[in-house]
Amino acid sequence: MKRILIIEDDRDIVELVRYNLANEGFQVNAAFDGVGGLATLKKTPPDLLLLDLMLPKMSGLDICREVRKDESLNRLPILMLTARGDEADRVVGLEMGADDYVTKPFSPRELIARVKALIRRAEPPVDSPRVLEIGRLAIDPASYRVSHSGKPVPLSTLEFRLLYYLASRPNRVFTRDQLLDAVWGTDRFVTPRSVDVYVRRLREKIESDPENPLHLKTVRGAGYLFETRAA
């Protein structure tokens, strides 16, 4: 049984989420403030985190930041809960490490679909494709691990999937929509601009100079490519 932790201070929302996800076979635990939620998260890591951004004691953005810094938690799928129209908050949330978002008020059906999609993407591949070694990078799809110059690089599951997709198809340009279809799938809910956020996050983690990337290149007006010729 997959375990989900919701950190949300609105108890009515918590009970709505708990009821509907439990009916789908999920085990749901809850915390009502940021500090308690982070402590619960570290003590008993779930399979997915449902996270409100506006929390007492510690914000959801700070929790995202802490999770992505923790090597034992950095692959945890995070689904943000945001108020309708808070576009800036959603962008910041994605930049801090969230994988997707749902806006309040939301339908239980929509929430369940997004939860299932994120959990499905977090599953490792059945087969074990080869490890990619490109310059100082080593990308292992069997363990979802990346290292740079021998040092581990913590990536979320979706960050890894995007990096591996591009790196395993080197020197080819992909549009944002192509990347969304390949990495997020047809049940995606994020927008093409979310790809920009993920690429920026990846550059900060794998590039020695994110402003002048060696591998993750932008092709203006077209999309992105993973350059290997320089390696």
Distance from C-alpha of 12 to C-alpha of 128, rounded to nearest angstrom: 43
| N- to C-terminal Cα separation, the chain | 43
**How confident is the model over 44-60, as a mean pLDDT?**
93
Cis peptide before 46 (omega within 30 of 0): no
Q: Show Cβ contacts of residue 193 under 8 Å, excluding neighbours closer than 6 positions.
A: 176
- Cβ atoms of 17 and 28 closer than 8 Å: yes
231 pLDDT above the threshold of 60: no
Alpha-carbon separation of residue 70 from 129, 156, 170 (angstroms): 26, 11, 30
Q: What is the pLDDT of residue 102?
A: 86
pTM equals: 0.69
pLDDT tens profile 30-42: 999 999 999 999 9
